[in-house]
Amino acid sequence: MAPKSTVTRPKIQLDAIVVGAGLGGLYALHRLRGLGLKARAFEAGDGIGGTWFWNRYPGARCDVESLEYSYSFSNELQQEWKWPERYGTQGEILKYINHVADRFDLRAQVTLNTRVTTAIFDRKTNLWTVTTDKGDVVEAPYCIMATGNLSTPRVPDFKGLQNFKGKWYHTGLWPKEGVDFSGLRVGVIGTGSSGVQMIPHIAAQAKHLTVFQRTANFSLPARNGPMEPARESTHKANYPERRKAAYDTPFGIAGHPPPTQSALDVPEAERNRAYEEKWKEGGSISFLYGYTDLLTNKASNDTASEFVRNKIRGIVKDKRTAELLAPKDHPIGTKRLCLDTNYYETYNRANVLLEDARSAPVEEITANGLRTTAKQYDLDAIVFATGFDAMTGALNEIDIRTSDGTRLRDKWEGGPLTYLGLMVAGFPNMFVITGPGSPGVKTQMILSIEQHMDWIADCLKHLKTKGYHRIEAEEKAETEWVDHVNEVAHKTLYPLAHSWYMGANIPGKTRVFMPYVGGVPAYKRKCDEVAAKGYEGFTLA
Ligand code: NAP
């Protein structure tokens, strides 16, 4: 046997290291170049695009309209790009991301197929040293984590997976060449956004589909369709105002008039007419933003939840299946609201069966399929639509520490602690794009990415101008921010759901509400104030 060779590569010296080359990492490269900084992104995938590179399952599509879900930093870009449909498919979004990389010449600054394994900050030299699984050693004063919030796919620890004779897949690790389910008996485990989008497509192709649902999720019709030329031209004519207006909305998405009254202030018939209109229009934002208190008042929320439950009962013909699909364990919108095309209708097909994985959990994957506590199912393929170790997974996968022995994994054992979701006390010069404690996942992600990276770029400029070499979040500011994030969350209905926002989908993960749900305007105001006060709550050295 040939001796194992250890590849030692020359140390790479940079001004900033970017981890990840999805939408966040690419925008980071663009901004850092604008500051005259030498930067490089390290990306585990063999292509750029992050979420949109990995999640290629059938039916994968964004649930925010494309004219909103796109970069705003270049007016030329947003004017020239043509979105073919109201909601972008995974393929179309990936094409867009690749176009952006080429148009702004970012590709050469990305190292693909390379996973960052450790990141260590030296308190004496104020330098981060990052190592990768390919043997790179990279040194830079700043490290920018653009690692994504839903980038650590998770297959539950089922007994027996290795014995399965068929093929199995996870939605977040879908094979590039696609999967042909024709003639197969397929089992799908999981009914979150990924499952809900994928199930109609698999049902249309497979011989038989069994869906194992543990928790029913609310889903609204997307009403996707080709981009209407008038819609596109009006939007593009008003792009700068639309982008600006988005910052004044809680979810960072413009075009929906702010609600003015409680759902309970409106007579039932009128309220149901309003819900009906929104159901016909499609999309989740207008529905949740229809009344002021749908996410803060349980009685108000019940009216919207019951409206959707009745829709499900109206669509799904089999009564048992309809009741199983009608969510009753959480208020609508407190888990990520799904958007679908023909999801509920799919259960009227003769080749689709819904099973209740709550009353009869999946116990074991067997050679020929799977066994629940009630029954054995023979399957040729199993698809795990079981989600991600959200928000903290990707950062905790990297061994992040400082020279004095502080480890991020240890610090975050009881849940993530950040100041503004941007920095972590004890870890100087490390910025996180849309980290836990920021509104990122509760907003139009690209708006939040741009807002974060713009703030980081301004901060780096400030440090350079003032001759500082180190910025570090203060413990006190961090604690106050974490308390505030919690306090705001507990004024809403969000904590009533066992969601990935709470870490509830990962056995053993500490349950704390991770995103900031105070809305984009309050958050941006706070970030801007902190900067205006000379980076209040941070120690600059
Ligand atoms: P998810 O929302 O976390 O859903 C995972 C599903 O798997 C849940 O139904 C969960 O049930 C189930 N599950 C997990 N472990 C299980 C087990 N041991 N037995 C049975 N069922 C199990 O994951 P996702 O659907 O991939 O979506 C994650 C997030 O990605 C979304 O919320 C959204 O933010 C984003 N996303 C967006 C889009 C879009 O833009 N259209 C599409 C896909 C995903 P429980 O609920 O009972 O835990």
Shared domain check, 99 and 188: no
The pLDDT assigned to 78 comes to: 98
Shared domain check, 45 and 27: yes
Which structural domain range is residue 307 located in? 256-335
On the CB side of 38, CA atoms within 13 Å amount to 8
Tell me the CA end-to-end span of the chain in Å, nearest whole number. 52
CA distances from 509 to 157, 504, 514 (A): 14, 7, 12
The neighbouring-strand residues paired with 472 are 539
118: CB partners within 8 A, 6+ apart:
129, 130, 131, 398, 399, 400, 401
| Gap from CA of 261 to ligand 1 centroid (Å) | 32
Would the pLDDT of 57 be above 50?
Answer: yes
Given the CA of residue 357, which atom of ligand 1 is nearest to it? 20
CA separation for the pair 322, 247 (Å, rounded): 39
pLDDT tens for 337-366 read 999 999 999 999 999 999 999 999 999 999
Provide DSSP, 258-326.
PP-S-GGGS-HHHHHHHHHHHHHH--SHHHHTSSTTTTT-HHHHHHHHHHHHHHHHHH--SHHHHHHHS
Are residues 538 and 426 in contact, defined by beta-carbon separation less than 8 angstroms? no
Instruction: Look at residues 300, 335, 370 and tell me which one is the last residue of a structural domain.
Output: 335
Residue among 214, 219, 499 whose CB has most ligand 1 atoms within 8 A, to mutate: 214
CA nearest to 172, candidates 392, 338, 384: 384
* Residue carrying the six token digits 């974060």: 452
Q: What is the H or E stretch that residue 466 is in? A: helix 445-466
| Gap from CA of 343 to ligand 1 centroid (Å) | 15
φ, ψ of residue 538 in degrees (nearest 5): -115, 150
The answer to whether position 1 is within a domain reads: no
Would the pLDDT of 7 be above 70?
Answer: no
pLDDT tens for 409-435 read 999 999 999 999 999 999 999 999 999
Shared domain check, 426 and 327: no
φ, ψ of residue 266 in degrees (nearest 5): -115, 135
| Gap from CA of 244 to ligand 1 centroid (Å) | 32
The pLDDT assigned to 2 comes to: 44
Are residues 61 and 90 in contact, defined by beta-carbon separation less than 8 angstroms? yes
The answer to whether position 3 is within a domain reads: no
Q: b/e per residue, 488-522, with b = 16+ CB within 10 A?
A: bbeebbbbebbbbbbbebbeebeebbbbbbbbbee
Q: b/e per residue, 211-231, with b = 16+ CB within 10 A?
A: bbbbbbbbbbbbebeebeeee
CA separation for the pair 362, 467 (Å, rounded): 58
CA separation for the pair 27, 536 (Å, rounded): 25
The pLDDT assigned to 6 comes to: 56
Shared domain check, 164 and 139: no
Would the pLDDT of 150 be above 60?
Answer: yes
CA separation for the pair 70, 79 (Å, rounded): 11
CA distances from 65 to 107, 231, 232, 449 (A): 26, 12, 11, 17
CA distances from 538 to 419, 424, 459, 531 (A): 9, 10, 11, 10
Question: What SS3 class is residue 368?
Answer: coil
Tell me the average pLDDT across 148-163: 97
Shared domain check, 165 and 124: no
> At 389, which amino acid appears?
D
Confidence of residue 5 (pLDDT cuts 50, 70, 90): very low
CA nearest to 274, candidates 312, 303, 314: 303
| Gap from CA of 530 to ligand 1 centroid (Å) | 35
Are residues 452 and 434 in contact, defined by beta-carbon separation less than 8 angstroms? yes
Given the CA of residue 172, which atom of ligand 1 is nearest to it? 26
> At 281, which amino acid appears?
E
Shared domain check, 113 and 163: no
The pLDDT assigned to 9 comes to: 78
CATH number for the domain that contains residue 442 = 3.50.50.60
Residue among 94, 194, 501 whose CB has most ligand 1 atoms within 8 A, to mutate: 194
Q: How many CB atoms lie within 10 A of CB 364?
A: 15
232: CB partners within 8 A, 6+ apart:
67, 82, 83
Shared domain check, 125 and 96: yes
pLDDT tens for 233-245 read 999 999 999 999 9
CA separation for the pair 28, 422 (Å, rounded): 14
Shared domain check, 474 and 379: no
The answer to whether position 503 is within a domain reads: yes
| Number of helical H runs and strand E runs in the chain | 17, 22
pTM for this predicted structure: 0.97
| Gap from CA of 149 to ligand 1 centroid (Å) | 13
> At 325, which amino acid appears?
L
Given the CA of residue 505, which atom of ligand 1 is nearest to it? 48
| Gap from CA of 500 to ligand 1 centroid (Å) | 8
φ, ψ of residue 118 in degrees (nearest 5): -135, 155
The binding-site residues of ligand 1, defined as CB within 6 angstroms of any ligand atom, are 61-63, 150, 156, 171, 189-195, 197, 212, 214-215, 336, 357, 362, 385-388, 500, 505
Given the CA of residue 60, which atom of ligand 1 is nearest to it? 42
As a whole-number percent, the residues of the chain with pLDDT over 70 amount to 99
pLDDT tens for 104-123 read 999 999 999 999 999 999 99
The answer to whether position 399 is within a domain reads: yes
Confidence of residue 1 (pLDDT cuts 50, 70, 90): very low
Please tell me the total number of residues recorded for the chain in this structure: 541
| Gap from CA of 74 to ligand 1 centroid (Å) | 33
| Gap from CA of 395 to ligand 1 centroid (Å) | 20
Are residues 139 and 129 in contact, defined by beta-carbon separation less than 8 angstroms? yes
| Gap from CA of 481 to ligand 1 centroid (Å) | 28
Shared domain check, 473 and 330: no
What's the order of all strands across the beta sheet hosting 362-366?
362-366, 369-372, 376-378
The answer to whether position 231 is within a domain reads: no
* Residue carrying the six token digits 């981009």: 227
Domain count, the chain: 3
Instruction: Look at residues 367, 387, 407 and tell me which one is the last residue of a structural domain.
Output: 387
CA nearest to 355, candidates 236, 234, 216: 216
φ, ψ of residue 294 in degrees (nearest 5): -65, -25
* Residue carrying the six token digits 């079981």: 386
Minimum CA distance residue for ligand 1 atom 6: 190
Are residues 145 and 432 in contact, defined by beta-carbon separation less than 8 angstroms? yes
Minimum CA distance residue for ligand 1 atom 2: 192
CA nearest to 432, candidates 221, 102, 188, 148: 148
| Gap from CA of 190 to ligand 1 centroid (Å) | 6
Shared domain check, 533 and 397: yes
Question: What SS3 class is residue 128?
Answer: strand
Would the pLDDT of 385 be above 50?
Answer: yes
Residue among 359, 386, 501 whose CB has most ligand 1 atoms within 8 A, to mutate: 386
CA separation for the pair 370, 367 (Å, rounded): 8
Shared domain check, 408 and 348: no
Tell me the average pLDDT across 132-145: 98
Tell me the average pLDDT across 146-152: 97
Shared domain check, 401 and 326: no
Q: What is the H or E stretch that residue 393 is in? A: helix 393-397
Tell me the average pLDDT across 184-199: 98
- Kindly state the tokens that stand for 353: 């069966």
pLDDT tens for 253-310 read 999 999 999 999 999 999 999 999 999 999 998 899 999 999 999 999 999 999 999 9
- Kindly state the tokens that stand for 125: 């030299």
The answer to whether position 301 is within a domain reads: yes
The answer to whether position 251 is within a domain reads: no
Given the CA of residue 193, which atom of ligand 1 is nearest to it? 25
The answer to whether position 280 is within a domain reads: yes
Instruction: Look at residues 352, 370, 387 and tell me which one is the last residue of a structural domain.
Output: 387
On the CB side of 409, CA atoms within 13 Å amount to 12
